[in-house]
């Protein structure tokens, strides 16, 4: 267990999106999770207030962009503003799942780059640093004019895949955008890899068109950053089976958002197991599926510890 009690002016707070994760991080750090009063007016407006003085304190504030994402985003902004107006030291925002990250470029004319909007607002309202996990696109770090510590859950997923003792497996990237991640994943597992190509005719829709690599007779280990409705990942697993891969793909992703109808799609016979982290809370009905939820509290606690001691995060391995 880490222990920051002796460090200068340190406090850990959390919004309402993932209190369980925040409590686990506090345990690993050996500190108490700070209190924040969060409520809602009858009109629907949100309210945040910190009961204790935070003057001169370096604060680590956790808020994942779990559903309802817009409420949790506004709640985070109000908490940051409350801290800034209370003469706080540094405001370090921990966002395990960075919402709006899938809108990191203009795919069509006259649409927003929403990830850039979120980055601008966080800086403007008063955040000094962002700690996040497996962004949809690494280039999102460039949208910020404040430090961003971009962590990865790949080592956590690798350990779990190794424990499955799969024979003759192949790592599969569901699209070209995940190719670099899949390459790292395959190298860590010492497995071959394959790449699929997909198009997106509409939001939350995907169309698989090509496959590069050999999957015949092999167990697919599909690596993604997010599983949302499960439509893409189901189509990938079914297509791989049609192309000669073994039935029963293992799906790996950092963020299990699991919007409807993910429950029905992930129950398909072509999917053997789903591995995700607890970057967002997992609904109870999803836990009845063959889903393994891997804890990220040790990873985030170590990152906080190293940031607070002004130590480098490069090469951090849990």
CA angle 108–113–118, rounded 5-degree value: 160
The per-residue pLDDT for 199 is 63
The per-residue pLDDT for 198 is 67
Active site residues: 198
Residue 115, class by beta-carbon neighbours within 10 Å (0-12 exposed, 13-18 middle, 19+ buried)? Answer: buried
Same fold flag, 10-152+297-308 and 154-294: yes
The per-residue pLDDT for 1 is 60
pTM across the whole model = 0.93
User: What tokens appear for 267 in the block?
Assistant: 């129950």
| Tokens 């899938």, residue located | 102
- Sheet containing 271-277, strands listed edge to edge, beginning at the edge strand earlier in sequence: 207-212, 193-199, 169-173, 219-227, 249-256, 271-277, 291-294
The per-residue pLDDT for 207 is 65
Q: Per CATH, is 10-152+297-308 categorized as 3.40.50.2020?
A: yes
* Dihedral sign, Cα of residue 265, residue 154, residue 21, residue 292: positive
Long-range contacts of range 186-193, CB-CB < 8 Å, 24 or more positions apart?
188/154, 188/155, 188/158, 189/158, 189/161, 189/162, 189/221, 191/221, 192/218
The per-residue pLDDT for 277 is 98
Cα–Cα nearest to 234, from 208, 213, 254, 215: 208
User: What tokens appear for 77 in the block?
Assistant: 């902004």
The residues near 194 (Cβ < 8 Å, ≥ 6 apart) are 170, 171, 172, 173, 211, 212, 213, 214, 215, 220
The per-residue pLDDT for 197 is 81
The per-residue pLDDT for 76 is 98
User: What tokens appear for 272 in the block?
Assistant: 């053997």
Question: Domain locations in the chain?
Answer: 10-152+297-308, 154-294
Could you say which DSSP state residue 138 is in?
A: G
| CATH number assigned to the domain with residue range 154-294, chosen from the 4 options 3.40.50.1470, 3.20.10.10, 3.40.50.2020, 3.30.1600.10 | 3.40.50.2020
The per-residue pLDDT for 176 is 85
- Stretches where the chain sits below pLDDT 70 are 1-8, 198-209, 315, 317-318
| Tokens 């370090």, residue located | 92
């Amino acid at each position: 267990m880490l222990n920051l009690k002796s460090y200068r002016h340190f406090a850990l707070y959390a919004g309402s999106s993932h209190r369980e994760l925040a409590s686990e991080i506090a345990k690993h750090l050996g500190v108490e999770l700070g209190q924040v009063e969060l409520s809602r007016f009858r009109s629907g407006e949100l309210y945040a207030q910190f009961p204790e003085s935070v003057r001169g304190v370096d604060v680590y504030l956790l808020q994942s962009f779990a559903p309802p994402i817009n409420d949790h985003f506004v709640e985070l902004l109000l908490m940051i503003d409350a801290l800034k107006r209370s003469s706080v030291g540094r405001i370090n925002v921990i966002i395990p799942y960075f919402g709006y990250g899938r809108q990191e470029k203009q795919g069509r004319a006259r649409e927003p780059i929403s990830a850039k909007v979120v980055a601008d607002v966080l800086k403007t309202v008063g955040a000094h640093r962002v700690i996040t996990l497996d962004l949809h696109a690494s280039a999102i770090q460039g949208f910020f004019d404040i430090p961003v510590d971009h962590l990865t859950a790949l080592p956590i997923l690798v350990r779990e895949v190794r424990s499955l003792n799969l024979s003759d497996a192949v790592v599969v990237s569901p699209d070209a955008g995940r190719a670099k991640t899949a390459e790292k994943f395959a190298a860590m597992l010492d497995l071959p890899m394959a790449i699929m190509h997909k198009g997106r005719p509409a939001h939350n829709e995907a169309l698989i068109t090509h496959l590069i690599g050999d999957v015949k007779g092999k167990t697919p280990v599909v690596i993604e950053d997010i599983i949302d409705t499960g439509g893409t990942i189901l189509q990938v697993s079914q297509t791989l089976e049609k192309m000669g891969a073994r039935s029963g793909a293992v799906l790996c992703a950092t963020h299990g958002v699991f919007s409807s109808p993910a429950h029905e799609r992930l129950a398909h016979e072509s999917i053997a197991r789903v591995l995700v982290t607890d970057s967002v809370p997992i609904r109870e009905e999803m836990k009845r599926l063959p889903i393994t939820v891997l804890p990220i509290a040790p990873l985030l606690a170590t990152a906080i510890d190293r940031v607070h001691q002004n130590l480098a995060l490069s090469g951090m391995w849990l």
